Amino acid sequence: MRRAMAALPLRFPRLPKPELVHLRTPFRFPVLPPLPQAFFVSPRASSMSLASSPSSSSSTSSSLPVLTLPPPPPSGHAPHLPSVSSGAVDLEPYLGCSMPGRRLRVAVLLSGGVDSSTALRLLHAAGHDCTAFYLKIWFQEDFENFWSECPWDEDLKYARAVCDQVDVPLEVVHLSDEYWNNVVSHIISEYRSGRTPNPDVLCNTRIKFGAFLEAIASMEFDYVASGHYAHVVHSPSEDGPSILKLSKDSIKDQTYFLSHLSQSQLKRLLFPLGCLRKDEVRRIATLMDLPNKDRKDSQGICFLGKVKFSEFVAKHIGELEGVLLEAETGDYLGNHHGFWFYTIGQRQGLRLSGGPWYVVEKDVRNNVVFVSRNYFSLDKRRRTFHVGSLNWFSGALPENTEQLQCKVRHGPGFYDCSIMAVPGIDGDEDNLTVHLSEDDQGLAAGQFAAFYHGDVCIGSGVIMDSWDEKCFPICSKALEIARMEDKSKLGKPVRIMNLDAR
């Protein structure tokens, strides 16, 4: 299959190469271009341009009645939290990732969800001078006919209510051009090329901790915080590196999504939830009576908000009818609306009888999607792949390349792995050959591979493809049909009976 598609160039668009810089105040993000039209709107003030935005005023800490909690139990045991009826809570035992004992000026990214809201309250309890920021994406207005009301109204109402509880100022930041130029356009380009990009990694690197950091550079905040589940350990020395460590919650841990940040970005970040589990965050939110304490977690792609992925792809890439072929037999099973709607390993949305069916390959040139019911066969799994667009928090390939671990997707699972540097396609930077200790069934070009040494994330890169000899085999008949110019000659699709019925 790979050889059959060799005529189609598959060159991954290079992401901006992170630059290792020593932090100085004010911070200047080294990669992204100047912002053209970012501006702030405060709920307590009229609109103002970025150029004339004064530094945000200090938050006023309310004096709250305190119920002292017992100290956290030894590691491995869940801390005892008082009942909801116990009143206000002493949060000191839960401020380990909030830099207590120092009064810092912190810009807090607030989404309206319970995680970022709890992070804000922890920072406030730690004594910091907080200003909250809500990021708004105007390109969602392209989908305004899909909703009866503005999709971010509810988020913003919750964000304001949370800030009002402790008199923290809230600013609304418009970054539409930055989202489109640095994230959305790249996503569209990747899907058109048959790859599966990761919007959340790009969103963190280029927007939340990229364009936003640039936008507030003149406001002289000490740190930027968010509700991510990760733990950043900062060096006591200004010139020392910061370290990205796994969070306490292995299920919710988001270091994978943060693994492509530069060292200069990492130096500016605080993640107050890195020392907590999700159930603790929910419990604390209830004890503090946050307005969104019962709100469900967001499950959408970072930049899409309430837009369904299929709607986004259909609007910005379009639809083009193609065929679904069984990989082993070449049987014509049905039609699809464009290969870009599918990713390797996908099961949902195929609408084929006799399944379950899985996407196993895509012919980008001929708009053909190959499917199989044998996706989980042991002899068709993959463990060796190439990675490009490398980012190392230390600025260089680690010295020990044998005893590492790797994540190829978000989640608690790790693989032991070894890596080896190999020349890149252009010869101006190295790529990696990564060999996993176990087979993986869903390696997808365009996704990220994050690397770890113990509980420390050391960097990541973009999966270019699986380059071993165990790619899913496509039979010669299926390849021949895929190359047919007039596929109307295929006739009616073959209807496959369920395996259990045979």
pLDDT score at 95: 94
Q: Which two tokens stand for residue 278?
A: 């999700």
3-class DSSP state for residue 472? Answer: coil
Predicted model pTM: 0.75
pLDDT score at 22: 29
Give CA 441 to chain center in angstroms.
21
What tens digit of pLDDT does each residue of 324-376 get?
999 999 999 999 999 988 888 888 888 898 889 999 889 999 999 999 998 77
Do residues 390 and 429 make contact, with C-beta atoms less than 8 angstroms apart?
yes
How far apart, in Å, are the Cα atoms of 122 and each of 107, 131, 158? Answer: 13, 13, 17
Q: Which two tokens stand for residue 202?
A: 């790009």
Give CA 114 to chain center in angstroms.
18
203 part of the active site: yes
pLDDT score at 277: 97
Give CA 151 to chain center in angstroms.
21
Cβ-based neighbours of 164, under 8 Å, separated by 6 or more: none
DSSP conformation class of 168:
-
Do residues 203 and 303 make contact, with C-beta atoms less than 8 angstroms apart?
yes
- Per DSSP bridges, beta strands 129-136 and 170-174 are parallel
Give the active site residue among 302, 406, 417, 457: 302
- Per DSSP bridges, beta strands 415-423 and 368-372 are unpaired
Do residues 111 and 134 make contact, with C-beta atoms less than 8 angstroms apart?
yes
Stretches in the chain below the pLDDT threshold 70 = 1-89, 138-151, 299-309, 377-381, 425-428, 466-471, 498-502
3-class DSSP state for residue 286? Answer: helix
3-class DSSP state for residue 409? Answer: coil
What tens digit of pLDDT does each residue of 377-423 get?
655 567 889 999 999 999 999 888 878 999 999 999 999 999 999 88
pLDDT score at 442: 76
CA 288-293-297 angle, to 5 degrees, is 140
302 part of the active site: yes
Specify whether the backbone of 459 is left (phi greater than 0), alpha (psi in -120 to 50) or beta: left
pLDDT score at 201: 94
**Residues forming a β-bridge with 388:** 462
Say if residue 26 is preceded by a cis peptide, omega within 30 of 0: yes
CB neighbour burial string for 424-440, b if at least 16 within 10 angstroms, e if fewer: beeeeeebbebbbeebb
pLDDT score at 30: 35
DSSP conformation class of 100:
T
**Residues forming a β-bridge with 200:** none
- Per DSSP bridges, beta strands 358-363 and 368-372 are antiparallel
Q: Which two tokens stand for residue 160?
A: 């304001």
Please spell the DSSP secondary structure of 190-238, one letter per residue.
Answer: HHHTT----HHHHIIIIIIIIIHHHHTGGG--SEEE---S-EEE--SST
Give the active site residue among 203, 275, 406, 417: 203
pLDDT score at 46: 29
CB atoms within 10 A of CB 73: 10
Q: What is the C-alpha to C-alpha distance for residues 331 and 344, in angstroms, rounded to an integer?
A: 19
